Amino acid sequence: MSKQYETVIGLEVHVELATKTKIFCGCSTQFGGEPNSHTCPVCIGMPGSLPVLNKQVLEHAIAVGLATNCDITRYSKFDRKNYFYPDNPQNYQISQLYLPICRNGYVEIETEDGKKKIGIHEIHMEEDAGKLIHDEWEDTTLVDYNRSGVPLIEIVSEPDMRSADEVIAYLEKLRMIIQYLGASDCKLQEGSMRADVNLSVREQGAEAFGTRTEMKNLNSFRAIQHAIEGERERQIDLLEEGKAVVQETRRWDDTKGCSYAMRSKEDAQDYRYFPDPDLTPIVVSEEMLAEIRGRQPEFRTEKMARYKEEYDIPDYDIQILTETKHMADLFEQTVAICGQPKKVSNWLMVETLRLLKDRNMDPEDIRFSPEHLAGLIALTDQKAINSTVAKEVFEAMFDTDVDPVQYVEEHGLKTVNDTGALKQTIEQVIAQNPQSVEDYRNGKEKAIGFLVGQTMKAMKGKADPATVNQMLKELL
Amino acid sequence: MKKEILQYTALELAAKIKAGEVTAPEALEAVLAQIEEKEKEYHCYVTVDAEGARARAKEVQAQIEAGTLTGPFAGVPVAIKDNMNTQGILTTCSSKILGNFIPTFSAEAVKKLEEAGAVLIGKTNMDEFAMGSTTETSAYGVTKNPWNTAHVPGGSSGGSAAAVAADECFFALGSDTGGSIRQPASFCGVVGMKPTYGTVSRYGLIAYGSSLDQIGPLCKNVSDCAAVLEVIAGHDPKDSTSVEVENTRYTESLVDDVKGLKIGIPRDYFGEGLDPQVKDAVLQAAQVLRAKGAIVEEFDLSLVKYAIPCYYTIAAAEASSNLERFDGIKYGYRTKDYEGLHPMYKKSRSEGFGAEVKRRIMLGSFVLSSGYYDAYYLKALKVKALIKKAFDEAFAKYDVILGPVAPTTAPELGKSLADPIQMYLGDIYTISVNLAGLPGISVPCGKDEKGLPIGLQLIGDCFKEHTLIRAAYTYEQARGEFGTP
Amino acid sequence: MNVISDETIEYVGILAKLELSGEEKEQAKKDMGRMLDYIDQLGELDTDGVEPMSHVFKVHNVFREDVVVNGDGREDTLANAPERSGDSFVVPPTFDM
């Protein structure tokens, strides 16, 4: 009779903050760039260099802390975490151990049993390391310090999660909050959000925690799910065999579907944390907190509730529109210009999402402005363009944020509303297609579709199909 | 002519150059000739950049004549301790591990001196990574005391102090973490000053004990020191620990007046271990100040003997971390034969660092390590708080604290390194000044029977350099000529 | 009296990435032992209730603005590289990346 095991999971999530410069120097954080092109004496640890804290990093960290119900530490310091590794130019990482900037928070997730609070033990600021690229040919490793010094916040949860689903829900909630704050774009695949999973198992009902392992290299929700399932199995197998779980760090290989232990004995893992003498303590005042609180945006739950009240659109639409702040802002700003929330919603939910998927883009990458979307909607309202043309104009607008009115002018796409010219064309079409006319008059309703098509062709698509249809019916 | 030029103080030379009586190239040639003559004996320098200096002197002279360069040190040759970055000029910290390091930027203090028109002669010898009190831990040979070449010049800014004493420069910059400016100044009969922590930017100073390090001047007299400090002091946004000092016009305090100045002499400084000749010279100096109207009084400072273990714990801990960056990857020495990453680290560092540096790195790593952090490092930080408090209480009663700089005059070469702890004890009077972040100055006040100089230390309250300079200047004026080696 | 073991010296060697010869190890054990004995004096002081002082002056909140001021730093960064390949530093192969 096999025992029932409970999985206990805690997460350490690293988030790359969306600042223009690094945490301790004025180098750009822009992704890409030739190796070592975004470096300076500070972020490569030149002798004689000194760090100075980027204020924006502190503000983002506090904002995330406030949004996750944390206590903000009023007297906070940076500590040095000492260990030798080539991606770490000073061979110490500036982080926070003793006095992290935020503590004792939580986020709420939806589970099948209702709402659940996942505790946040602490959030602290730290610097990212450089990148190591293995050179297979030469059997050496190449070091690029562009990423060294990019600001991170590390969010350490309590071991409150019990399943992969809860972990995913927690990560999605965190991501939504942080994206809404504009603190980071939180893209797992790009590494702007990284999750390390701490997992242990224990018999159902047991009080004490089992020995936990840490898993790294989880680059997608899928990998996280597999890793959790795999590690749970592995640990249960060990315990069932009477063996002990070793506390270690394991690297998950999603292609192979298994993990293996990391960290050679050369690393004593004794980090000798001590307060960094080169950086001054941070004293957070009531004023600073009030200012940051004041800048906090409306979060998704509140927004959804407000949309339900203010706009006459279905719940499903609200759900999609508020998934990201960018999309929600676009929606609200467009409606503010032209009204018609349902029409705006349709454009965003149908065409926009389709093109995003097609072009493999994220909502944050949407280029067109609310003014232009409103302009496009106005053109369709005026029946200046028909729906087919509208889609074409939209795609151009999506790709280059071109002014739809301008685009229609330049490409001569206006629907011809001149009834005289239209009537002439229709009469020509009738004359040229006697068979279809016959068919229609004999009761074949579908024949009119063909005639509409022919008319549209003759009009080079610049007619309103509904008007054409009506006119044909009148003339026949 | 050349020898006469060498007699000038830095400010006197600057005035002569401004007046057109001497040119910058002439002053430089005088110094270079002196170096040519004396260096093989004294070995003050690791690097002499004659070519660069000559080019610069020419350039500076042209600017002076055109009226575009009016800085206080225009044309005056200066020596810089080899732990301060100088762009394009080899900077070694007297260590093998930086034997080929050419900085891509200059230290802030160096830049300020260059803006003031100073001409950089070269980089002076020091104890490796500023760890030592005799300049004997240098990987590039020892420096000899110009007063008696069988003796050390002191350390770690021994090269700078000796260069000033030997006229191999007109003034120099040094760094002081536990006494490394004041003690060699005392041993070499020159004036050396450590400002209040945060007064001079540490940007570009290769760090040893970050919470203790400060850059300061070594000069022929107090006036030069005040003038140099005036140039190099000031807030630097690139150094988070740099402080906005209200009034950096230190030369305004070169006033001969100590009437009513309250001077405290710690009884604990005058116990066992203090050489009687040093004691006499220092107490005599106190009398000189009393005669000039100062109120001189003895008091109990307390905690004096704890300053040394407190300092060494903190400095070693910070140093062990600051020196981790020397790993053969981005700059500096990399070992030739190695297999694998960690062996490369170990061999490069073990081959590149000297014994004293390794000793302190190991001690520092130990006191920060798991299980010992509270008992050693945190404890030392608490003692530091107590020491600061003791000084705060003292400065509530006194304007200036007076005492010796070192318990002895310069020891003989080769006698100090055998017993590290004995050597550390020599820092007893200077070390607590760094722990409390206070300003301190060493002014020559006598000589022992061998003719070796004795220094008088004056310690001020934080950011009270003005009072300190006034007291030092007054003493110096009353003392009269000190002489040269 | 602090007696430093071989293990301790080896452990510290791993932390500090220093390797010592047999002789050096013996000397290091002695030196460290003596130094710690000396530092143990601090135990004579009553520091209950005293806050550890890491920064000597009450300077707080030193910040910089989030403005890019540095350009392409490649040349300076690599100027002293002991070994480089293109614009990267070269090190022995690392594992567990």
User: Is the residue at B156 inside a domain?
Assistant: yes
**C58 interface with B at CB cutoff 8 Å:** no
Nearest CA in chain C to A75: C60
User: Do B126 and B82 meet the contact criterion of CB atoms below 8 Å apart?
Assistant: yes
Instruction: Single out the residue of B76, B48, B49, B82 nearest to residue B157, CA to CA.
Output: B82
Q: What is the pLDDT of residue A154?
A: 98
Is C18 in Cβ contact with B362 (below 8 Å)?
yes
Token pair belonging to A28:
């750009």
Between B and C, how many CB-CB pairs are < 8 A?
Answer: 155
Residue in B170, B257, B148 with CA at minimum distance from that of residue B217? B170
CB contact under 8 A, B107 and A48: yes
Per-residue pLDDT for A266 more than 90? Answer: no
| pLDDT band per the 50, 70, 90 thresholds, residue B457 | very high
* Contacting B residues, span 188-207, partner chain C, CB-CB under 8 Å: 197-198
Report whether the peptide linkage leading into residue B156 is cis, meaning its omega lies within 30 degrees of zero.
yes
What's the CATH class of domain A419-475? mainly alpha
Complex ipTM value: 0.95
pLDDT at B2: 65
What is the least distance, in Å, from the CA of A14 to any CA of chain C?
A: 16
**DSSP letters of B223-291?**
HHHHHHHHHHBS--TT-TT----S---GGGG-----TT-EEEEEGGGGSTT--HHHHHHHHHHHHHHHH
Q: How far is B364 from chain A (nearest CA, A)?
A: 10
Q: Which tens digit of pLDDT belongs to each residue from B76-116? A: 999 999 999 999 999 999 999 999 999 999 999 999 999 99
Chosen from A79, A98, A99, A142 to mutate, greatest number of chain C CBs within 10 A: A142
Compare CB distances from C68 to A21, A85, A280 and report the shortest one's residue. Answer: A21
The pLDDT value given to residue B17: 97
Q: Which of B122, B129, B115, B104 is nearest to B74 (CA)?
A: B115
Q: DSSP code of B130?
A: G
> What percent of chain B clears pLDDT 70, i.e. is strictly above it?
100
CA distance C18 to chain B (A): 5
Paired tokens of B200: 């001079």
Please compute the mean of the pLDDT values over residues A273-280 and round it to a whole number.
97
Closest CA to C12 of B360, B315, B420: B360
What six digits make up the tokens of A160? 């409150």
Would you say residue A470 has pLDDT above 90? no
Residue C96 has pLDDT above 60, yes or no: no
Would the CB atoms of C80 and B197 count as touching at under 8 Å?
Answer: no
**Average confidence (pLDDT) over B130-136:** 97
Q: B243 at the C interface (CB within 8 A)?
A: yes
**Cα(B319)–Cα(C83) distance, integer angstroms:** 26
> B220 falls in which pLDDT band (50, 70, 90)?
very high
Considering only CB atoms, which chain B residues are within 8 Å of C64? 237
Assess whether pLDDT exceeds 80 at residue C33: yes
pLDDT category of residue A104 using cuts at 50, 70 and 90: very high
Torsion angle of C-alpha atoms A266, A269, A272, A274, degrees rounded to 10? 130
Nearest residue in chain C measured CA to CA from B419: C31
Assess A280–B contact: CB distance below 8 Å, yes or no: yes
Is the CB of A37 less than 8 angstroms away from the CB of C74? yes
CB contact under 8 A, C17 and B345: yes
Angle at CA A109, nearest 5°, toward A107 and A110? 160
Chain C CB contacts of B198 under 8 Å are 57, 59
Domain-located, residue B347: no
Whether residues A36 and C15 touch (CB distance < 8 A) is answered with no
Predicted local confidence at residue B327, as pLDDT: 97
What does the pLDDT average to over B454-459?
98
Q: Give A30's contacts (C-beta < 8 A, 6+ positions apart).
A: A38
The domain spans of chain A are 5-288, 298-411, 419-475
- Please tell me which of the candidates A46, A50, A92 has its beta carbon nearest to residue B238: A50
Residue B226 burial (C-beta neighbours within 10 Å; 0-12, 13-18, 19+) = buried
How far away is chain A from the Cα of C56, in angstroms, using its nearest Cα?
10
Bigger pLDDT: A190 vs B130: B130
Interchain pair A142, C90: CB under 8 A? yes
User: B340: left (phi > 0), else alpha (psi -120 to 50), else beta?
Assistant: left
Per-residue confidence at A131, pLDDT binned at 50, 70, 90?
Answer: very high
Give pLDDT tens digits for A330-347. Answer: 999 999 999 899 999 999
Q: Which residues of B touch A91 (CB under 8 A)?
A: 324-325, 327
The answer to whether residue B69 is domain-embedded is: yes
pLDDT tens-place string over residues B151-175: 999 999 999 999 999 999 999 999 9
- Kindly report, residue by residue over B360-381, the tens digit of the pLDDT: 999 999 999 999 999 999 999 9
What is the reported pLDDT for A415?
A: 73
In a domain, B332, yes or no: no
Of B152, B105, B222, the residue nearest B470 (C-alpha): B222
- Contact between A43 and A148 under an 8 Å Cβ cutoff? The reply is yes
What is the reported pLDDT for C97? 42
pLDDT (0 to 100) of residue A96: 98
B32-46: pLDDT as tens digits = 999 999 999 999 999
**Structure tokens given for B44:** 């003050």
Inter-chain contact B240–A49, Cβ cutoff 8 Å? no
Strand, helix or coil for residue A53: strand
Active site residues of B: 81, 156, 180
B203, B204, B327 member nearest A91 (Cβ): B327
Separation CA B64–CA B83 (nearest Å): 30
Q: Which residue has the higher pLDDT, B243 or A409?
A: B243
The answer to whether B2 and B30 have CB atoms below 8 angstroms apart is yes
| Domain spans of chain C, in order of start | 6-43
Number of domains making up chain B: 1
Residue A31: pLDDT band with limits 50, 70, 90:
confident
Q: Per-residue confidence at B228, pLDDT binned at 50, 70, 90?
A: very high
Of chain A, the percentage scoring pLDDT greater than 70 comes to 98
Kindly tell me the burial class for residue A219, based on how many C-beta atoms sit within 10 Å of its own C-beta (0-12, 13-18, 19 or more): middle
Distance from CA of B240 to the nearest CA of A (A): 6
Contacts of C87 (CB under 8 A, 6+ apart): A34, A35, A36, A37, A144, C74, C78
- Asked if the model's pLDDT at residue B147 lies above 50, the reply is yes
- Beta-carbon separation of B241 and C64 below 8 A: no
User: Which residue segment(s) compose the domain that B40 sits in?
Assistant: 2-252
Segment A393-405 shows an average pLDDT of 90
Encode pLDDT of B171-190 as tens digits. 999 999 999 999 999 999 99
State yes or no: pLDDT of B1 exceeds 70: no
Q: What is the pLDDT of residues A401-427, one digit of tens each?
A: 889 888 888 887 777 667 777 788 888
Confidence of residue A435 (pLDDT cuts 50, 70, 90): confident
β-pairing verdict for B77-81 and B171-176: parallel
Report the pLDDT value the prediction gives residue A441, as an integer from 0 to 100: 82
CATH of C6-43, one of 1.10.1760, 2.60.120, 2.30.30, 1.10.20: 1.10.20
pLDDT at A136: 85
Residues A454-465: what's their mean pLDDT? 81
What part of B 69-88 touches C (C-beta under 8 Å)? none
Average pLDDT in the B461-469 region?
97
Taking the C-alpha atoms of residue A460 and residue A336, their distance in angstroms, rounded to an integer, is 34
Q: Do B104 and C43 lie within an 8 Å CB cutoff?
A: no
Asked if residue B97 is part of any domain, the answer here is: yes
Q: Which of B241, B341, B368 sits opposite A272 (nearest CB)?
A: B368
Between positions 122 and 161 of B, the ones with CB within 8 A of C are none
Closest Cβ–Cβ partner in C40, C44, C56 for B211: C56
Q: What is the mean pLDDT of chain B?
A: 96
A174 vs A301, which has greater pLDDT?
A: A174
All chains having 3 or more CB pairs closer than 8 angstroms to chain B: A, C
Residue identified by tokens 């006469």 is B4
Average pLDDT of every residue of chain A: 90
Burial class (CB in 10 A: 0-12, 13-18, 19+), A446: exposed
Q: What is the mean pLDDT of residues A195-218?
A: 92
Chain C interface test: which of B320, B366, B386, B391 (most C C-beta within 10 Å): B366
Cα of B339 to nearest chain A Cα, Å: 11
* Closest CA of chain B from C25, distance in Å: 11
- Domain annotation covers residue B220: yes
DSSP B151: B
pLDDT above 70: residue A374: yes
pLDDT tens digits, one per residue of C56-70: 998 999 999 999 999
Are C66 and A21 within 8 A, CB to CB?
yes
**Which of B198, B330, B344 is facing C57, going by the closest CB pair?**
B198
* Cβ <8 Å between A50 and B202: yes
Q: For chain B, say whether C25 makes contact (Cβ under 8 Å).
A: no
For chain A positions 201-220, those within 8 Å of chain B (CB to CB) are none
Is residue B315 situated within a structural domain?
no
Look at residue A115 and tell me whether its pLDDT is greater than 70: yes
Ranges of beta strands (E only) in A55-212 are 71-72, 75-76, 79-82, 92-95, 102-111, 114-127, 131-135, 140-144, 151-157, 193-203
On whether residue B36 sits in a domain, the answer given is yes
- A/B interface, count of CB pairs below 8 Å: 92
The interaxial angle of helices B24-42 and B10-18, nearest 10 deg, is 150
The CATH number assigned to the domain holding B195 equals: 3.90.1300.10
Give B384 to chain C, closest Cα distance, Å. 7
**Is residue B250 pLDDT above 60, yes or no?**
yes
pLDDT of residue A264: 60
